[in-house]
Chain A
């Protein structure tokens, strides 16, 4: 595969960015404003698809800063991430329209503009050809998502925003340190499949420090414990934000950057030679189990999903840390599979909130009668995250388990399987309560299997009789369709994964890294 100098990678980043002024300009005409968002999403997806189809690897040089060449390069890993993010941006844009209009949210213009900005930064992260470019877009992503986290403007939202910025910008500082160290050690920060040759021969202690800085910095957005605190807090954001950004774009930027570090900067071999692969794997495995356990106690649906995200990101991080070909393949598949399944779950949480006003699992007793299709989609996506066959999660997790079995420490197979079991324990009460729970007239007692009771708003009695709506009439089509599309995507990825471009892209990553 040869490199082709082209503008396409830059266009992919620029299209969502150009949408920002257009969105602001048409702030008085909501329909036109949303048209810009949808157009930009379509154009971004189209450009990425062009890049996927095009022969050769497209590169857009961005000039150089202080002797470091900056560039955007659409290689297999970047394309996989960009394709995922742009596909789901399109779906989420439709969903967002339904969500913010149903709730009559304030500051919708700022919301859509920030959304476009976040996607532009994500595309930059995906296509960054070197650590410095990656760092710049990684930081821009933090800035672009900040207005979305504090969107509600409440005290809680502002506090969550402060936590978010403190964690992620703090991580950014560590990343910058790591980038400088790598530059000093090897004289380059440009990604190379299988790692930079200079690092294998560099001073091992300094190399380890560089790895630690980069991993700790990117680990913040990957939400590896104990750097995860910002993610459950950030759930105060509107649900589409939690869906696209805090289950796909932002957190996946973290784990994607982690993958770049392990596979394209240090390389699988050097990572394990330096002895830093195992600690990272252990941290990921511990996170996976702890997040599963803590998740059991969450009665707030979105918080529970956030802990589930923390656990699932560690599935990917563990696969990358183990760095066997099958594990890496599984990690990239899981990046995609988890995105489709988790965004479905967030969409559903949003539909439940819009249609019933409920946020707590124990208040959702019987909601399956009111939202049958939506909650069925929830059940399918949840089954996928547990790892049942015929849904995307099975395929990716099976590769991860196989990769772990072939790794130096096969014990990590147990971590994956324990993680799956905890997922079943977490998701079951939710599905159970939704379909079989019977609201009781008395408040106070928790109907959640593991979580303690929460303070209810006292408005519970009116929901004693949730009624079955007409088919397809349970919510606005703007929200129902995205739920069906992503849930259908998750099932399709579980039935015929090889038919999607993600499969070949992940395979290309493996052959790029392992030769």
Chain B
């Protein structure tokens, strides 16, 4: 059985699911797609480690599937999340084309993680960008322009990665992973390319701009894959870490959380939290120790689950109340109890409260940074924790606790929505309650790490308390601030720049053409030609030339 399975890459199930979704009725299509995508989990848990499916469609050796300690947890996680996402899409009214594009996108993510060589990865990477663009695009309206900018950002990033992989190939002579990535320029270019997907500060504007725009189910789907695939690739590229990467991660933590605190659109707030949470993973990869890598992957796993849940909660609120801004929400705790409970689970998990997944994974990542990096970087992470607590205190207070500023109508929810929310909430609790089983899935997690040591508990509770108190004190000023991000300068500049350069080139071309026309005109007038005779002369000359050539050919053939 395993041998047969090993011949079929898991992403084939996503292709079949697309067919099912498009061909069958909505209910049947959803059921089939949930089962097919969910199959990824058992496939990965039973597949033996090693590489399979060597092919060469483009003339180079490629490995479609590689199962190792990095890929196994991430790909299995993707399969679980994909199944729930399909269910969530069904519950929130996503149409079949949207589900099909989501499946293509999630399948690309799985293919990227399972790839055993850089060329396959590159193909999956580009497909991830294309399918994400189409997924956002498909929603139409306000989502169309951001989708274009999304495509440009990711094509630029992909371009750097292509260059890096090409230079790596020249040095290594193969695309297959074994032996690491070529040092120097290739690695630098690759990190720059992956940095776009990771949301490096300065390259991040696509993320908060795109994720809040499309259908709520599309937001949930997008939040789970692009940045996480990038973290995985970063770990492949630089398993020994890099000082720049570590500090960039620290900057992402702080920048993301600061922006998040200032947001009032729920999904935009969550999008900035992706940047900050991915920052933790980037720092942990950047320090370059085994514990760091384990912490990064554990945090990735925990993050995909609770961040997906948070987007699901936000989406459930948007779908049921029609509001997306915290300013117009309130009092939902009693009216949407399941949503509220799952929100609490996810918020406590992302904040890192003991008993939930984020506490364990963030604890491991922070510990790795503490033991292998400058102290300042560790303080960045702690400050990030405080900011996270602050912003989720804000989210919870405005959406669920306070009284609504004006009466809200809340539509009823389908049972599928409730199921999806609860199913995703379970692992966030389990991973926190059984930390050893959770961390055991990641190679390199140090046995000495005790998540529930007294010092860890104190730190986590202090950060959370500081955040909540901070929110209570800053509530007034925060509500009056209007956040600004780099995109408000960057994007108009880029558009104006592109237009100006193109216009300048055209003008230069016109001047050159005009000059040459003038010159030929003068030469023509020197011999006293007028256009009409010029044309007939031309025709005569061409006829003569044709006749001569034909005669020459005939002669040649005869001779």
Contacts and interface: CB of A to CB of B under 8 A. Distances in A.
A146 B542 contact: yes
Given A62-B556, A139-B545, A428-B151, A162 B163 contact: no
B503 interface: yes
Contact of B553 (A136, A226, A388, A450): A136
Contacts of B534: 162
Interface in A57-74: 62-65, 70
A432 B57 contact: no
A143 B545 contact: yes
Contacts of B155: 386, 420-421, 424
Given A417-B159, A424-B151, A450-B498, A62 B538 contact: no
B60 to A, nearest CB: 9
Contacts of A428: 148, 151
A353 to B, nearest CB: 24
A139 B166 contact: no
Contact of A496 (B57, B556, B558): B57
B169 interface: yes
A402 interface: yes
Contacts of A136: 549, 552-553
Contacts of A395: 58
Interface in B121-175: 122-123, 126-127, 130, 140, 144, 148, 151-152, 155-156, 159-160, 162-163, 166-167, 169-170
B555 to A, nearest CB: 7
Nearest to A229: B513
Contact of A398 (B58, B127, B495, B501): B58
Contact of B152 (A398, A424, A496): A424
B499 interface: yes
Contacts of B498: 296, 425, 450
B512 interface: yes
Nearest to A425: B498
A237 to B, nearest CB: 17
A402 B170 contact: yes
A293 B502 contact: yes
B552 A405 contact: no
A197 interface: no
A497 interface: yes
B410 interface: no
Contacts of B553: 62, 136
Contacts of A169: 545
Interface string A132-143: 000010011001
A389 interface: yes
B489 interface: no
A414 B558 CA distance: 53
In which size bucket is the chain A interface? 35 or more
B110 to A, nearest CB: 16
Contact of A450 (B159, B502, B513, B538): B502
Nearest to B108: A389
A65 B556 contact: yes
Given A140-B549, A436-B140, A450-B502, A497 B58 contact: yes
Given A406-B170, A413-B166, A432 B148 contact: yes
A23 to B, nearest CB: 18
Contacts of A162: 534-535, 538
B473 interface: no
A468 to B, nearest CB: 15
B559 interface: yes
A402 B506 contact: no
A293 B499 CA distance: 9
Contact of A293 (B123, B163, B170, B501): B501
A410 B502 contact: no
A158 interface: yes
Nearest to B59: A498
Nearest to A298: B506
Interface residues of B, number: 51
Contacts of A146: 542
A390 interface: yes
Nearest to B516: A229
Contacts of A410: 167, 170
Contacts of B56: 498
B42 interface: no
A165 interface: yes
B505 interface: yes
B166 A402 contact: yes
B24 interface: no
A181 interface: no
A376 to B, nearest CB: 12
Among A62, A296, A399, which residue has the most Cβ atoms of chain B within 10 A?
Answer: A296
Interface in B202-240: none
Contacts of A369: none
A336 interface: no
A401 B123 contact: no
A394 B162 CA distance: 11
B458 to A, nearest CB: 51
A158 B119 CA distance: 49
Contacts of A425: 152, 498
A495 interface: yes
Contacts of A293: 501-502, 505
Interface string A366-390: 0000000000000000010010111
Interface in A418-464: 420-421, 424-425, 428, 432, 436, 449-450, 452
A64 B559 contact: yes
Among A297, A383, A428, A449, which residue has the most Cβ atoms of chain B within 10 A?
Answer: A297
A390 B127 CA distance: 9
A26 B155 CA distance: 53
Interface in A68-92: 70
Given A293-B505, A294-B502, A424-B151, A405 B58 contact: no
B162 A401 contact: yes
A381 to B, nearest CB: 14
B47 to A, nearest CB: 25
A290 interface: yes
B130 A388 contact: yes
A65 B552 contact: yes
A398 B162 contact: yes
A158 B535 contact: yes
Interface in B523-559: 534-535, 538, 542, 545-546, 549, 552-553, 555-559
Among A293, A401, A405, A420, which residue has the most Cβ atoms of chain B within 10 A?
Answer: A405
A155 to B, nearest CB: 10
Given A158-B535, A389-B127, A420-B159, A63 B558 contact: yes
A158 B534 CA distance: 11
Interface in A122-136: 136
Contact of A143 (B148, B546, B552, B558): B546
Given A63-B559, A136-B549, A143-B545, 19 more contacts: A63-B556, A63-B557, A65-B552, A143-B546, A226-B512, A229-B513, A293-B505, A294-B502, A296-B499, A389-B123, A401-B162, A405-B166, A417-B159, A420-B155, A424-B151, A432-B144, A450-B502, A497-B58, A498-B58
Closest 7 CB pairs of A and B: A296-B502, A405-B166, A389-B123, A417-B159, A63-B559, A297-B502, A63-B556
17 contacts: A62-B556, A139-B545, A140-B546, A294-B502, A297-B502, A388-B126, A389-B126, A394-B126, A398-B162, A399-B59, A402-B169, A420-B155, A420-B159, A421-B152, A421-B156, A498-B57, A498-B58
